[in-house]
Structure 1
């Protein structure tokens, strides 16, 4: 295993046989029957991306007037006045699209902060017919896309997730929401995204079946306003027989990120890149999962962000491990609605200037 260990890493580095793809599809079907943690005002389902090698090229641009970021993000991340004000400030339209075999995929809009971003794609059936199989809802279909590794425009260690959304099961379109987080600045760059063969899980045959064959490749510029607030740095806490120093803490209306250093160099097992072995799980818990992150809102609501994804990079010469963890929120939370953020018991008040 490399020195950079990506905990809860997306499957972008994995390659699967057909048998493995079937197993993934079965897992997706099982997961879809489990109540989701994310709460959306529309139907959604988890996306399993069976990653395939792909060459990324320029996609065509959508013609006409682009929808505003508020139109795209408000139904997904909240449409209250304070939330739409945030979207208007940091959201940017994209409008890059590509069409193959009667299906058009369009990158609609992006918003983000220094280390996190959210992109919404629309998948449209050009003949106007129902996008999903007849009589099936999104939660019953368990869609999968080959060749989707997420939009790539930053260097560094990235992590994230993606899921489908369907506001109207009877119309000719669905949406794909992608979140991305990195230890490198993400606010500018040229992004590439590739998609191949949309499939669904047939519960009657218990097999993954091809819904729409095709290859779609998009390229677009990323340029949005960073709304991050930086808090503290240098504070310490102790737990699990280790001492931790908080190096950097950033929070924005869409995400949180904490970078910290542990006074012990973790030693990982020799597992394949991107995989976590059973013996590494307790180590990941000590350095990542057990690090508590609590966001308290001004109304007294406490949001537990301790389960955020992250990474651990040991420095054996210095005898320390450099760690970071964070996530994109389920909804937009204006900074004026945040009271404090606590990391490992160290509490930071959030200024409202």
Structure 2
């Protein structure tokens, strides 16, 4: 699938038109449905449905509402990122309850809690039908869910990327959870976020179109503040591959996410094709400077997690190329369970 944006402007300032958002949603939904048909799991087995939406930023006119019962961070996140005693302790330490909400069309969206580290944040939202009836239409238990409107904007001067998905443990009740993760190239653990959502949709596989099942616009504003439990390793280590020399600037690891910053000794060259899509030449450059950089996390129990497919940014800079790769883990990892992280063959011990 070709990406509908210009690679030559780097990946840390992505903007999509409504048409591109619809295309991304359709292509991602088709891929996810195909994966489900062939028996492959999505992000984690817990998922019953998945959100297909572009991670965007936008300037929003924001309103906020009060909620009823304020959930603790552990209540909000433990069912999603792990609920062991050690994981719950970490959530209680670095999680931050929010409780901002907005109501439209008989549906309320509430930002329950946020957690993260210096460069990565996760926000969990609860979507509830106010009259207590089932949120999803009958027969839609296995349908893909979508939402539009831009999602969360951290209002920071930096590039971001991330992902979103729904969790619906009981499709017959009046509630689903929406989780959005955001990774940034600048610190984000002390800022004010805004969020905007427009309509809730089901993906109709037969027609190849999305169909709204709850209409409205929801706008929220809330603080993104939590304890940063990350550690920063390295600085100046080098490795070579694909005919390039890489210098590792920093490796940041926390119980919930990671970030690797590095500089390449030559400047990435984009094709300037003008099509707005990734050419074969640009794909090769992306592989050499970004995608082929291997990142492995070694756990103390011998498990190895391949983090190489993380998103991030790549920016030409006066004869060099400055890159960053970061992402949230699929579960909370106590720091004592992380033995080391390996970048391009260079190992950074934690234990």
Please tell me whether residue 177 in structure 1 is matched to residue 179 in structure 2.
yes
SS of 2:339's equivalent in the other structure is: strand
Query: What per-residue deviation string (whole Å, max 9, x for no partner) do you get for residues 258-291 of structure 1?
Result: 0000001001233679853443111111111110
Query: What per-residue deviation string (whole Å, max 9, x for no partner) do you get for residues 225-255 of structure 1?
Result: 0000111111000001011100011000001
Instruction: Tell me how far apart the structure 1 counterparts of residues 53 and 261 of structure 2 sit (CA, whole Å).
Output: 28
Deviation at 1:44, TM superposition (A): 3.5
SS of 2:61's equivalent in the other structure is: coil
Deviation at 1:33, TM superposition (A): 3.2
Structure 2 counterparts to residues 263-342 of structure 1, below 5 A: 263-270=265-272, 276-316=278-318, 319-342=319-342
Q: More deviation in 231-240 or 20-29?
A: 20-29
Instruction: Tell me how far apart the structure 1 counterparts of residues 263 and 157 of structure 2 sit (CA, whole Å).
Output: 21
CA contact (8 A) 1:16 1:50 kept: no
Deviation at 1:21, TM superposition (A): 2.6
Distance verdict in 2 for CA 1:225–1:271, change over 3 Å:
farther
Deviation at 1:106, TM superposition (A): 0.4
SS of 1:164's equivalent in the other structure is: strand
Instruction: Tell me how far apart the structure 2 counterparts of residues 333 and 285 of structure 1 sit (CA, whole Å).
Output: 29
Distance verdict in 2 for CA 1:49–1:134, change over 3 Å:
farther
CA contact (8 A) 1:56 1:193 kept: no
Distance verdict in 2 for CA 1:53–1:242, change over 3 Å:
closer
Question: Structure 2 stretches of 5 or more lacking a match?
Answer: 1-5
**Aligned residue pair count:** 342
Distance verdict in 2 for CA 1:206–1:322, change over 3 Å:
closer
Deviation at 1:31, TM superposition (A): 1.8
Structure 2 counterparts to residues 56-135 of structure 1, below 5 A: 56-63=61-68, 65-135=69-139
Query: What per-residue deviation string (whole Å, max 9, x for no partner) do you get for residues 169-220 of structure 1?
Result: 1100111100000010011011100011111122344432121110000001
- The normalised TM-score by structure 2 is 0.91
- The normalised TM-score by structure 1 is 0.90
- Where does residue 230 of structure 1 map in the other structure? 232
Instruction: Tell me how far apart the structure 2 counterparts of residues 22 and 340 of structure 1 sit (CA, whole Å).
Output: 39
Query: What per-residue deviation string (whole Å, max 9, x for no partner) do you get for residues 109-135 of structure 1?
Result: 000001001000111111111111102
Deviation at 1:148, TM superposition (A): 2.3
SS of 2:288's equivalent in the other structure is: helix
- Equivalent in 53, 71, 82 of residue 48 of structure 1: 53
Distance verdict in 2 for CA 1:49–1:321, change over 3 Å:
closer
SS of 1:114's equivalent in the other structure is: coil
Where has structure 1 moved over 4 Å in runs of 4 or more? 1-4, 49-54, 271-275
CA RMSD in angstroms comes to 2.3
Question: Structure 1 stretches of 5 or more lacking a match?
Answer: none
CA contact (8 A) 2:58 2:153 kept: no
- Where does residue 167 of structure 2 map in the other structure? 165
Instruction: Tell me how far apart the structure 1 counterparts of residues 182 and 7 of structure 2 sit (CA, whole Å).
Output: 22
Deviation at 1:25, TM superposition (A): 2.6
Distance verdict in 2 for CA 1:27–1:41, change over 3 Å:
closer
SS of 2:153's equivalent in the other structure is: coil
Instruction: Tell me how far apart the structure 2 counterparts of residues 37 and 205 of structure 1 sit (CA, whole Å).
Output: 23
